[in-house]
Structure 1
Amino acid sequence: MRYIQKIPVPPELQASLEKSLKKKLSWDNFKDEDGRSELRAHLWKEQFGLCAYSEISLNEYGFHIDHIQPKGNSKYFHLRFDANNLVASALVNQNCVAKKDLFGGHKKDNSEIAITPAQQNCNKHFEYTPTGMIQPAKQLTDQDKQLTQQTIDCLGLQCQLLINKRHTVYASINQQLSYLLEDAEALSYFINDYLEPNAQGQLKPFQSMAEQIFNRN
């Protein structure tokens, strides 16, 4: 999980969100003509094409719009059209993967999570192993470790599908680093290239894990 720096919502889209709230529109009835497609594009851009929770590419399995504070909870119903509470989360639907590998917003459903991508230092709560496992960071207090583990479990971040993907990327990065350790210029280029978005505004997956490997976090 990485911090999502929210960017200004285009005025026309913001007006559509406010209009939908004023009309007391339910989320399920919020359609493309109400601004849904524009909102999806905005969130993709804001997140550089990465899932808010897992950091895989949003293009791989498609994505849906998720509410950080769950819309199904009456405490947060008024936030259902608040852009600060909205993120793009893989998967497009629950049928994309096996039930045991469900993760992200569809796994979270209407549960609350303690660590969210709206928190600036959210990435500091997690650490990654070479085998692709994710776990609470060692430097956390016992209470924060518990909250972090609850977040991992609630979002399905330890599902085998994500473990395998992180393992593959971790091994690939380590292999590249081993080739470049004696070439400072090439090493710097590789690291910067991995951590910067491409021409389409897309970041490579698992940025927080990569930063940990690069000792940049």
Structure 2
Amino acid sequence: MEEQYSLCCYSEIRPDQIGLGFHIEHIENKSQKPERTFDYDNLAASALDSETDLHAFKGRASEVFGGHALGKSDSVDIKRFVSCHQPDCSRFFAYLSDGRIVPADRLSAEDEDRALYTIGSLNLNSPFLQNLRQQWWDELQELFDAHINQEMSLHHLASIDLVPRGKQLSPFFSLTRNFFGEIAEDVLKHDFDELN
């Protein structure tokens, strides 16, 4: 959790802020590669505690996401799957104001396929996640507009959600980075180079 700044490895929600838990996720499924079951490089913290949270989604299987999504519980094509441990994984995805995650612009055909495959396998556009991301985007937009109107610093605004407080980040780090664009890159370069 500390290594991930309290964010889910796939959705980037902060489960602790919305009453959900975590489980230990095997990036490459145990059933596919049993020898990687205890390989630290194959583990991550993913939202939705197996014992309690899945009951909250009972009857709403289409909203289950991340490591418990139907597409991830089946065997995944690890050559197509964009791993959260891949250093440049964020380059595959972009975020829209309606809360959807899509393949980033200017990807090769192969990388676009990988992005689409990963989004689908993890159900990253589940209605639950899409709604949370849209709310986050709307909040950022409202604050951004207020800062423009009152001639306040956009760099300071961006740093609120891009720079960790202690060992925790605000939810949706990548969406926030996407939203602020060059401002975000400047903030990260100057204030928190570890996340670059």
Same fold (TM over 0.5): yes
Shift in Å, 1:183 = 5.9
- Please list every run of 5 or more consecutive structure 2 residues that lacks an aligned counterpart in the other structure: 186-196
TM norm structure 1: 0.74
> 2:56 aligns to what?
96
Give runs of aligned pairs for residues 1-217 of structure 1, distance below 5 A: 44-59=1-16, 60=18, 61-73=20-32, 76-93=33-50, 94-97=54-57, 98-107=60-69, 108-112=72-76, 113=78, 114-181=81-148, 186-199=153-166, 201-215=167-181, 216=184
Determine what percentage of the aligned residue pairs are the same residue.
33
| CA–CA separation in structure 2 for the residues paired with 1:155 and 1:164 | 16
8 Å CA contact 1:51–1:58 kept in 2: the answer is yes
TM norm structure 2: 0.82
Q: For 2:41, give the aligned amino acid.
A: N
What is the CA deviation profile of residues 3-51 of structure 1, one whole-angstrom value per residue up to 9, with x for unaligned ones?
Answer: xxxxxxxxxxxxxxxxxxxxxxxxxxxxxxxxxxxxxxxxx11101000
Bigger Cα Rg: 1
- Runs of at least 4 residues of structure 1 off by over 3 A? 182-186
Change (3 A) 1:213 1:79: same
What is the CA deviation profile of residues 141-185 of structure 1, one whole-angstrom value per residue up to 9, with x for unaligned ones?
Answer: 122111110110000101111110000000100110111126666
| CA–CA separation in structure 1 for the residues paired with 2:73 and 2:84 | 16
8 Å CA contact 1:58–1:89 kept in 2: the answer is no
Q: For 1:88, give the aligned amino acid.
A: A
> 1:39 aligns to what?
none
- Please list every run of 5 or more consecutive structure 1 residues that lacks an aligned counterpart in the other structure: 1-43
Q: For 1:209, give the aligned amino acid.
A: L
